[in-house]
Amino acid sequence: MGSTIIGTGSYLPEKILTNADLEKMVDTSDEWIVTRTGIKERRICSENMSSSDLGVEAAKKAILDAGISADEIEMIICATITSDMPFPSTACIIQSKLGLDNIACFDISSACSGFIYGLELARSFTNNGCYRKILVIAAECMSRVTDYTDRSTCVLLGDGAAAAIVSHSGDTDGIIDSYLGSSGKYGNLLYIPAGGSKLPASHETVSNHLHFMKMEGSAVFKIAVNAMSSAIKKIFERNNIHAEDISLLIPHQANIRIIQGVARSMGVPMEKVFVNIEKYGNMSAASVGVALDEAVKAGRIHKGDLVCMVSFGAGLTWASNLIRWNKDD
Ligand code: UT7
């Protein structure tokens, strides 16, 4: 009895927003952005697209990669903090756009940790065979909640989506274990103040830029390094794994200095760490999913490899997992 990833996909919008573009919008520089974050450019979705559109494109690629028919999917879990609208769920919208009907669909809100949370949910549902195939999606239009007058956040964020098909399997390889954590007391370090039941949209919330993401960057930075390192340690200890057993570490792509700090504290050399932050910036839940898909397609993951994914985000939330990759190259 087990659960395994049988296909992955990702979708990045075509439009590129470079550091040079941002230099014209806010008081920043390419040099500051690259040295403080590692980001060179990010993708921005077109006006007529929303998170579900990005998610659908990623899902179609994952379905193709898995070699299954869309009809075989029994559940859609969508991780997003930029849902198309408050309700219905983006998962239901994606279901309809994929032409599927009468299956379980719901969203999860775990910010940047959402893809790993989603994979763990899918593992729980498929492990005992109750569900055979689940589509996990992370889709984010972070540009829609970015204040392009706030230089401390607008240089960081980008749009994108990732998907994975999680399947019930007969062997114990695949998604071996996950560790999920959160600490709500830090919620005010990273949030969108308005647009929910506490502070509904009004002229005032719009004019005060309260529908955009706010972040206490340096406080979040310190907690991120500790929380991700501790999430990796916990999952290693629980499974009697050591840093040298890992073929690839796939961390959330929020800041290259956070990634380097986590790798250093875990004793994992940077050659074994997947980094694509320079191309996309922070895409919230989509970051680790896109990284997983790119790592597979770039030949950085082979059958039998032990992969560790780790993430961290608003909530605050954090998550790690261990995957013994068992899909043929
Ligand atoms: O995905 C969820 C998790 N998110 C994260 O993990 C993000 C965590 N935080 C970070 O990555 C970093 O804290 C930032 C990249 C957001 C900021 O880097 P930092 O090294 O922590 O900078 P800082 O906030 O301490 O600011 C240093 C200086 C400030 O100027 P003063 O006060 O020293 O004069 C800022 O005003 O850098 C200034 N600054 C900028 N300068 C040029 C902040 N943003 C910019 C900018 N361009 N874009």
For every residue of 84-103, DSSP letters joined together read SSSSS-HHHHHHHHTT--SS
Model pLDDT, residue 57: 98
Q: Which residues contact 1 (CB under 8 A, 6 or more apart)?
A: 127, 128, 129, 168, 170, 172
**Residue 237 and residue 289 in one domain:** yes
> Do 80 and 107 share a structural domain?
yes
What's the mean pLDDT when you consider all of the chain? 97
Does the C-beta of 220 come closer than 6 Å to ligand 1?
yes
pLDDT at residue 188, as a whole number: 96
What is the CATH classification number for the domain harbouring 215? 3.40.47.10
For ligand 1, atom 35, name the residue with the nearest CA: 152
Please tell me if the CB atom of residue 36 comes closer than 6 angstroms to any atom of ligand 1: yes
> Both 44 and 148 in a single domain?
yes
What's the number of domains the chain is made of? Answer: 2
For 80-116, the pLDDT digits (tens) are 999 999 999 999 999 999 999 999 999 999 999 999 9
186 in helix, strand or coil? helix
C-alpha 235 – ligand 1 centre gap (Å)? 30
Are residues 109 and 208 located together in one domain of the fold? no
Q: Are 55 and 94 in contact (CB under 8 A)?
A: yes
pLDDT value at residue 229: 97
Site to probe by mutation for ligand 1, drawn from 28, 115, 152 as the one with most ligand atoms within 8 Å of Cβ, is 152
Let me know if residue 221 belongs to a domain.
yes
DSSP assignment of 13-77, as one string?
Answer: -S-EEEHHHHHTTSS--HHHHHHHH---EEE---TT--HHHHHHHHHHHHHHHHT--GGG--EEE
Same domain? For 247 and 98 the reply is no
**pLDDT on residue 91:** 98
pLDDT score recorded for residue 329: 84
Q: What is the pLDDT of residue 328?
A: 85
Do residue 62 and residue 143 come from a single domain? yes
Q: What confidence tens digit (pLDDT) does each residue in 18-31 have?
A: 999 999 999 999 99
CB atoms within 10 A of CB 39: 26
Q: Which atom of ligand 1 is nearest to the CA of 224?
A: 6
Q: What is the DSSP letter of 264?
A: H
For residue 206, the CA-to-ligand 1 centroid distance in Å is: 24
Residue 102, in any domain of the structure? yes
8 Å CB contact between 175 and 323: yes
Q: Which ranges of the chain would DSSP assign to H, the alpha helix?
A: 19-23, 30-37, 51-66, 90-97, 114-127, 151-154, 203-207, 217-238, 256-266, 277-280, 286-297
Ligand 1: residue whose CA is nearest its atom 17: 217
Q: Which long-range contacts (CB under 8 A, 24 or more apart) does 190-194 make?
A: 190/111, 190/214, 190/215, 190/216, 190/220, 190/313, 190/314, 190/315, 190/316, 191/314, 192/81, 192/145
Give distance in angstroms: CA of 193 to centre of ligand 1: 20
Q: Name 236's Cβ contacts closer than 8 Å, sequence gap at least 6.
A: 242, 243, 308
Do 110 and 203 lie in a common domain? Answer: no
Q: What is the DSSP letter of 253?
A: -
- How far is 24 from 2, CA to CA, in rounded Å? 51
Do 153 and 209 share a domain, yes or no?
Answer: no
Does residue 281 lie in a domain region? yes
Task: Report the pLDDT value the prediction gives residue 1, as an integer from 0 to 100.
Answer: 83
Atom 30 of ligand 1, residue of closest alpha carbon: 152
Query: Ligand 1 within 6 A of 313 CB?
Result: yes
Report pLDDT for 35: 98
What is the whole-number distance in angstroms between the Cα of residue 153 and the centre of ligand 1? 8
Q: Looking at 154, 172, 190, which one is the last position of a domain?
A: 172
Are 131 and 180 found together in one domain?
A: no
Residues 149 and 57 both lie in one domain: yes
Q: Is the CB of 95 under 6 A from ligand 1?
A: no
Both 110 and 249 in one domain: the answer is: no
Answer yes or no: is 287 within a domain: yes
8 A C-beta contact, residue 197 and residue 234: no
Query: Which residue among 156, 191, 221, 290 has the greatest number of ligand 1 atoms within 8 angstroms of its CB, and so is best to mutate?
Result: 221
Catalytic residues: 112, 252, 282
pLDDT digits (tens, 9 = 90+) for 147-177: 999 999 999 999 999 999 999 998 888 999 9
Cα–ligand 1 centroid distance for 32 (angstroms): 9
222 belongs to a structural domain: yes
Q: What is the pTM of this model?
A: 0.97
CB contact at 8 A, 114 and 80: yes
- The predicted pLDDT at position 12 comes to 98
Per-residue pLDDT, 172: 84
Q: 329 in a domain, yes or no? A: no
Q: Calculate the CA 102 to chain-centre distance.
A: 27
Out of 145, 172, 199, pick the residue that ends a domain. Answer: 172
In a domain, 135, yes or no: yes
Residues 6+ apart with CB under 8 A from 204: none
Q: Residue 292, preceding bond cis, omega within 30 degrees?
A: no
* pLDDT by 10s per residue, the chain, length 329: 899 999 999 999 999 999 999 999 999 999 999 999 999 999 999 999 999 999 999 999 999 999 999 999 999 999 999 999 999 999 999 999 999 999 999 999 999 999 999 999 999 999 988 999 999 999 999 999 999 999 999 999 999 999 999 999 988 889 999 999 999 999 999 999 999 999 999 999 999 999 999 999 999 999 999 999 999 999 999 999 999 999 999 999 999 999 999 999 999 999 999 999 999 999 999 999 999 999 999 999 999 999 999 999 999 999 999 999 998 88
CA 108 to each of CA 64, 78, 105, 138, 192: distance values in angstroms, whole numbers, following the listed order = 24, 6, 10, 9, 16
CA distance 174 to 34: 36
Same domain, 107 and 140: yes
d(CA 160, CA 142): 8
- Ligand 1 in contact with 151 (CB < 6 A)? yes
Any atom of ligand 1 within 6 Å of the Cβ of 28: yes
Q: Could you say which of 104, 139, 172 is where a domain stops?
A: 172
The contacts of residue 33 (CB under 8 Å, 6+ apart) are 19, 22, 39, 40, 155
Q: Please state the atom number of ligand 1 nearest to the C-alpha of residue 152.
A: 44
Does residue 154 lie within any of the structural domains? yes
Domain span at 287? 176-324
Location of structure tokens 């690259």: 34
CA distance 237 to 125: 25
Nearest alpha carbon, ligand 1 atom 5: 254
64 Cα to the center of ligand 1, angstroms:
40
Predicted local distance difference test score (pLDDT) of residue 171: 85
pLDDT of residue 129: 87
Q: How remote is the CA of residue 68 from the centroid of ligand 1, in Å?
A: 44
Angstrom distance (rounded) from CA 6 to CA 301: 13
